[in-house]
Amino acid sequence: MRIEDEIHQKEFKDDYRRLMANLLFTNNWLNQQLIPFFKGLGLTLQQHNVLAILRGQHPEPVCFGDIQNRMVDRNSNVTRLIDKLIEKGYVTRDICQTNRRMIEVRITETGLKKLQEVDAMFPSLMERFHNLSQEEAVLVSNLLDKLRG
Amino acid sequence: MRIEDEIHQKEFKDDYRRLMANLLFTNNWLNQQLIPFFKGLGLTLQQHNVLAILRGQHPEPVCFGDIQNRMVDRNSNVTRLIDKLIEKGYVTRDICQTNRRMIEVRITETGLKKLQEVDAMFPSLMERFHNLSQEEAVLVSNLLDKLRG
DNA sequence: ATCATATATTTGTATAGACAAGTAATGTAT
DNA sequence: ATACATTACTTGTCTATACAAATATATGAT
């Protein structure tokens, strides 16, 4: 459905403004799919993102700064995110012995199991992207990379 | 910059997951430009969105439901958004006389002036989109429309 | 060794978002 | 006419986000 019809706007001043509205609107559309999906699994998007980052380094730990730099949403408060994940038993935190300012975060077995549970559900989530062919998905992705510069 | 480099991830499981991460990351990038831009003008994105909708109908009023349906971010609480805009003197609200459940919202002269102030700054904001040619902007926009189905 | 500066994480706070429940006016079926 | 459902907006509450300030540790210059 054209963005003009989605937000009942006859036309945009220019193609860049149309793209801006479209990016914001599409992100909302995406969140409306992702938030309930992860909520059903007892996670938020950001919590899942952190777990996936930790799995990538497992069994090595990752410190807060590195977690932040690898997150899709850079605005998240890592301290409070990790607190939630510890409560759920998905990660551990320890003070780094070589630099005591840093915190080492590791994913637990329970956390790995939760990620496997998410993985099993992922294909059904990804179906919503299949309005685009694989080639089109690559094309959009590359153009977004180019947009950000 | 490629999304892989932005979030320090070697590769994605498939092109659709890469697109998903890229959409979320690009939206964050966009918000990091838009939020300070509008903040500098004393508005939030959603407040600006509402004012623009009201200008589109001016001098006719728009009711809450219609505002919600035309907003880029559908999750906004229109009641509280309008409260803020009334405080600032940018809109008025009146009970609709033909259906007393509905609220008629109108933009004021002050609101129109504020929008003119925003318009004057818009070209500088749009420069950040010029990494894409006009044709590419149209292409991405159309593919996003297609993605949502 | 001391002090200033930088780095890494934490905490506080004000505002916004998500979502459920509430209120008031209208429409509809009997 | 009355009761029930629907519509349109409001309010409450809990959580998350944005951003500034605070704390703790490490580094570097004198």
For strand D, the positions having any atom within 7 A of a protein Cβ are: 7-12, 16-19, 24-27
Delimit the domains of chain A by residue range.
1-40, 42-121
Q: How far apart are CA B121 and CA A14, in angstroms?
A: 15
> What DSSP line would sit under B24-65, residue for residue?
HHHHHHHHHHHHHHHHHTT--HHHHHHHHHHHHHTTS-EEHH
Instruction: Indicate yes or no: strand C within 7 A of the C-beta of B97.
Output: no
Q: Which residues in chain B are contacts of A25 at CB distance < 8 A?
A: 72
The CATH classification number of A42-121 equals 1.10.10.10
Q: Could you read off the pLDDT of A2-60 as tens digits, one per residue?
A: 999 999 888 999 999 999 999 999 999 999 889 999 998 989 999 999 999 999 988 89
Cross-chain residue pair A141–B29, CB shorter than 8 Å: no
What pLDDT sits at residue A75?
81
What pLDDT sits at residue A64?
92
Q: Which residues in chain B are contacts of A138 at CB distance < 8 A?
A: 15, 18-19
What pLDDT sits at residue B83?
93
- Facing residue for B28 by CB, picked from A73, A130, A145: A73
The length of chain A is 149
Nearest-5° angle of CA B91, CA B67, CA A26?
A: 125
Cross-chain residue pair A17–B126, CB shorter than 8 Å: yes
Q: Could you read off the pLDDT of B100-137 as tens digits, one per residue?
A: 999 999 999 999 999 999 999 999 999 999 999 999 99
Identify the helix (H) or strand (E) that includes residue A95: strand A91-95
Instruction: Indicate yes or no: strand C within 7 A of the C-beta of A12.
Output: no
Given a cut of 90, whether residue A74 has pLDDT beyond it is no
Given a cut of 90, whether residue B74 has pLDDT beyond it is no
Q: Looking at the domain B42-123, which fold is it? A: Arc Repressor Mutant, subunit A (1.10.10)
Average pLDDT over residues A95-118: 93
Percent of chain B's residues with pLDDT above 90: 83
